[in-house]
Amino acid sequence: MRRATIYRLLVVAAAIGLLEVLCLTGVIDKITMQAPHLIVRDLFRMLVSGRLNGAIMKTLTNTLLALGLALSVGIVVGAILHRYRALRDTLDPLFATYYAVPIFAFYPFFLVVFGLGDLPQILIAFMLGVVAVIVNTLNGLDRVPTVLLKTARIMRLSSMDTALRMTLPAAAPYILTGIKLAVAYAFIGVIGSEFIMSRGGIGYEISFAYTSFDNATMYPLIVLILLASITINAGLSRWEERLLARRGLR
Amino acid sequence: MTASMNASRWSGLRNASVLIAALLVLWQVLYWWVGDVALASPLATFRYTERLVTGETFGMHAYDTLRAFTIAFTLSVVIGLAVGFWLGFAKLAGDVLEPMVVAVYAIPKLTLYPILLLAFGLGLSAKVAFGVLHGVIPIILFTLTAVRNTKPILIKTGKVHKLSPGQTVRWILFPAAVPEIFTGLRVGFSLTLIGSLLAEMFASQRGLGYLLMTGIGLHNVELIMSVTLLIIVFAAGVSTLLLHIDHRLHRRT
Amino acid sequence: MAAEQVSLRNVGKIFSSGQPPAPLHALGPIDLDLKRGEFFAVVGPSGCGKSTLLEIIAGLTPATEGTVEFEGKPIAGESPDGIGVVFQEDASLPWLNVSDNVAFGLRRSDLSDRDKTDRVHNALQLVGLSDFATSYPAQLSGGMRQRVCIARTLVMQPSLILLDEPFGALDQQTRLLMGDELLRMWRETGATIFLITHALDEATMLADRIAVMSARPGRLIDIVETGWPRERDSRIIEHAEFGVITARLWKSLREESLKTIGRARAAPSSKP
């Protein structure tokens, strides 16, 4: 597997190198994009100057709020639905078609009801992520082997003990999949909403930079977001892999 | 057997009806709570939708959206299947590139939108490109997984029946992979739609996405809700149909 | 203490499930006494209710008729202390290593940490997994994982151990060796063992007494005494009586098994 990582780095390096060449030779003109090394330089300058720290903090805070909301509501709802089969069966068509619907279409509605503050974005991001958490929590709870629950009864574990020491660890890898998705969706929801219509945050800055022909700000910001989401997602995937590998599920 | 299948079909229908009824009630209650400034009642929305759909310009907008979406989806399927099969069969390429494809899945693609606009300009190309960007990823990933998860026993079976590699693929391997691939196509369908609609909201003077933005700009609540309703009904409707086919395919295995 | 550790009188189990509810007479009536410290096996055709019987004794499921007593006290819906159960499916906890898995059995006990560590150590030695204390179940073979489950049961020092086809998922040779291990543990702990198995040779080899169950609803149609010495292992296969006992088991069992797969004749044959 190590060989694949090396190749991957080579592919990325080659792609960036290609972009560099295309930009420097003018095949890609300056109005469309500046050379990668310039983007990196601009990114450093931007971070050091602290000019956009406010926007970064805003986006980060809203993402974390949306994530926290999606996780707490999602896991609790998932646990409840797992218990009440009839309710779960009724909501099943909703979950199945949920991600086919452009959730962003609700953004105007939220804007009108909640005004131009941060709440619409957080709600959109929450709505995007919560169903992924619910569905994966249900999946994880489904997959707890019955024999483990029987063992808990033989050992006369209390309900709380059974839930915390048997059910939760058994379902953990699958719930983690839901968490991973919720993180990605929280990010997408907040930044996407900022992009469409907002007065702050990184998404807004990118949109503003675009309309102002300010490539020197726009590209570094895009790169920043790409790096952040890739790193976080990769980290969570590694954790998920470890959990699954230790249990022999990979 | 048939009796229980029918029973489950009816209960599925009943569940869906209960759900839709509940959502309509929720909608009506929200309307009473929030008022005309933010929402239109279900009834008003239905009436407006009827007027909208039979109006002159609607056909043009719908056509525009469908055209962009169809081109984007076709491209997504073709590229997605091709790349998916390649990465599934070629072990090294698959190992190297798959994590990168997965990474793209997690990126807020709306941030890449300005780059696409700069590259493709406003209009159809940008819409298609954005749609493809969204839709091709799941198709690649599901196809890749389907190919990788081919059970070795199937290949052995082909050999035992003295089939050529081509025949093995056609008669054994491909049918075995179809359910998984179809799931990828289904997810790709939804995401391509979302992608092209999002693109339409910014880079177009026509289409349903554009109508939505117009509604937002003019604060025309009925228009907003009407277009949203149409999009939801279309997306959910087709998605349910595809899900149904998906279940039938998976039940065979 | 009474010689009878477990007493079942007229025990039966009727399940009602489905729409509309259709009662399923799964088991009984059964009268059975388990003697303290004996090795008792149960064989029977598929679906005859052997597992249900085990779960009733374990307190996992209530009998719908009759009484069950453990150590003179009725079992009432909860699993009594002093009973350990090993299931056929792998019940090892995949997120804990072997040592922690075994220690999990002591979760509810108020022994000192020192005592707990000692018990875990002893249990691991008893099942022969001392060298694997820090391994994870995923790294072990099926047989070793079952030994982890057995160790986790032994660590609670139960006086009655119920095993529901514990070696069902293992290959024949591993099963025979595991049988030897089980006998050794039985002798060292002095517990009563109640084993369900579908392998006749396993039952003959391991048990002091073997009960044969009929097809559903399961009743006891024969109880065979093997009369083996306590110090025994799988080489008892060589003994002349081994074939006789196994043959007797099969004679009773064959008719019942045929009934289960729907091919029994109307009247039982008396031919050997």
CB of B77 closer than 8 Å to CB of B85: no
Find the CATH number of the domain harbouring B169.
1.10.3720.10
Is C93's CB within 8 Å of A169's CB? Answer: yes
Q: Is residue C228 part of a domain?
A: yes
Q: Is residue B87 part of a domain?
A: yes
ipTM rounded to 2 decimals: 0.84
Which residues touch C170 (CB under 8 Å, ≥6 apart)? Answer: C142, C143, C146, C178
pLDDT at B3: 59
Diameter over CA atoms, chain A = 74
Q: Is B25 exposed, middle or buried (0-12, 13-18, 19+ CB in 10 A)?
A: exposed
Q: Is residue A26 part of a domain?
A: no
Find the CATH number of the domain harbouring C68.
3.40.50.300
Is C93's CB within 8 Å of A166's CB? Answer: yes
CA C197 to chain centre: 7
Is A100's CB within 8 Å of B193's CB? Answer: yes
Q: Is residue A28 part of a domain?
A: no
Q: Using alpha carbons, list the distances in angstroms from residue B134 to A96, A232, B78, B194, B239.
A: 19, 20, 14, 8, 16
pLDDT at C267: 47
The CB-based long-range contact list for C261-270 (8 Å cut-off, 24+ gap) reads none
User: A167-200 burial string, b = 16+ CB within 10 Å, else e?
Assistant: bbbbbbbbbbbbbbbbbbbbbbbbbbbbbbbbeb
Please state, for a pLDDT cut of 90, what percent of chain A lies above it: 46
Number of Cβ atoms within 10 Å of the Cβ of A227:
11
Contacts of C108 in chain A (CB under 8 A): 155-157
Look at residues C43, C153, C39, C49 and name the one whose alpha carbon lies nearest to residue C92.
C153
Reported as a pLDDT band with limits 50, 70 and 90, residue A2 is: confident
Q: What is the DSSP string of A188-242?
A: HHHHHHHHHS-SSHHHHHHHHHHHTT-HHHHHHHHHHHHHHHHHHHHHHHHHHHH
Which residues touch B3 (CB under 8 Å, ≥6 apart)? Answer: none
CA distance A238 to chain B (A): 11
In the sheet that holds C83-86, the strands lie side by side as: C83-86, C160-164, C192-196, C39-43, C209-213, C220-225
Per-residue pLDDT of A170-228, as tens digits, reads 999 889 989 999 999 999 999 988 887 767 889 889 988 888 888 888 999 999 999 99
Three-state SS for C225?
strand
Q: Is residue B39 part of a domain?
A: no
Question: Could you tell me which chain C residue has the CA closest to the CA of A145?
Answer: C91
pLDDT at C163: 95
Is A102's CB within 8 Å of B194's CB? Answer: yes
Q: Rounded distance, CA C59 to CA A153, Å?
A: 9
CA A27 to chain centre: 35
pLDDT at B150: 85
Number of domains observed in the structure of chain A? 1
Any chain B CB within 8 A of the CB of A91?
yes
* A107 vs B79, residue with greater confidence: B79
Q: For residue A155, which amino acid is it?
A: M
Q: Is residue B52 part of a domain?
A: no
Q: Is residue A213 part of a domain?
A: yes
Q: Rounded distance, CA B113 to CA C195, Å?
A: 67
Number of domains observed in the structure of chain C? 1
The β-bridge relationship of strands C39-43 and C192-196 is parallel
Q: Is residue B28 part of a domain?
A: no
In tens digits, chain C (272 residues) has pLDDT values of 667 788 888 888 888 876 677 788 888 799 999 999 999 999 998 888 899 999 999 988 888 899 999 988 888 777 788 899 999 888 889 888 999 999 998 887 888 999 999 999 999 999 999 999 999 999 999 889 999 999 999 998 999 999 999 998 888 888 898 999 999 999 999 999 999 999 999 999 999 999 999 988 889 999 999 999 999 988 988 989 999 999 999 998 988 888 888 765 544 444 44
Any chain B CB within 8 A of the CB of A25?
no
Q: Is residue C7 part of a domain?
A: yes
Q: Where are the alpha helices (DSSP H) in B35-123?
A: 42-54, 58-89, 91-106, 113-120
The β-bridge relationship of strands C65-70 and C4-17 is antiparallel
Enter the pTM of the model: 0.82
pLDDT at C272: 46
Q: Is residue C6 part of a domain?
A: yes
Q: Which of A143, A154, A157, A239 best probes binding to C when mutated, by most C CB atoms within 10 angstroms?
A: A154
Look at residues B68, B53, B69 and name the one whose alpha carbon lies nearest to residue B223.
B53
Look at residues A233, A7, A223 and name the one whose alpha carbon lies nearest to residue B97.
A7
Any chain B CB within 8 A of the CB of A135?
no
Is A90's CB within 8 Å of B19's CB? Answer: yes
Any chain C CB within 8 A of the CB of A250?
no
Give B 127-186 residues with CB within 8 A of chain A: none
Quick one: tokens of A159?
Answer: 């309900």
Type and span of the H or E element at C52: helix C50-58
Any chain A CB within 8 A of the CB of C134?
no
Is A154's CB within 8 Å of C137's CB? Answer: no
Domain that holds residue B197: 57-252
Find the CATH number of the domain harbouring A48.
1.10.3720.10
Q: Is residue A3 part of a domain?
A: no
Q: Is residue C151 part of a domain?
A: no
Please state, for a pLDDT cut of 70, what percent of chain A lies above it: 99
Q: Using alpha carbons, list the distances in angstroms from residue B197 to A186, B105, B193, C226.
A: 20, 18, 6, 78
Number of domains observed in the structure of chain B? 1
Q: Is residue A175 part of a domain?
A: yes
Any chain B CB within 8 A of the CB of A11?
yes
Any chain B CB within 8 A of the CB of A94?
yes
Asked if residue C158 has a cis previous peptide bond (ω within 30° of 0), the answer is no
Mean pLDDT by runs of 10 across the 253 residues of chain B is: 62 83 90 80 88 87 92 96 91 89 88 87 87 94 90 80 81 86 92 89 82 83 87 89 88 69
Any chain A CB within 8 A of the CB of B201?
yes
Per-residue pLDDT of A21-80, as tens digits, reads 988 888 888 788 888 999 999 999 988 888 888 889 999 999 999 999 999 999 999 999
Which residues touch B112 (CB under 8 Å, ≥6 apart)? Answer: A222, B133
Q: Is residue C47 part of a domain?
A: yes
Contacts of A184 in chain B (CB under 8 A): 105-106
Any chain A CB within 8 A of the CB of B97?
yes
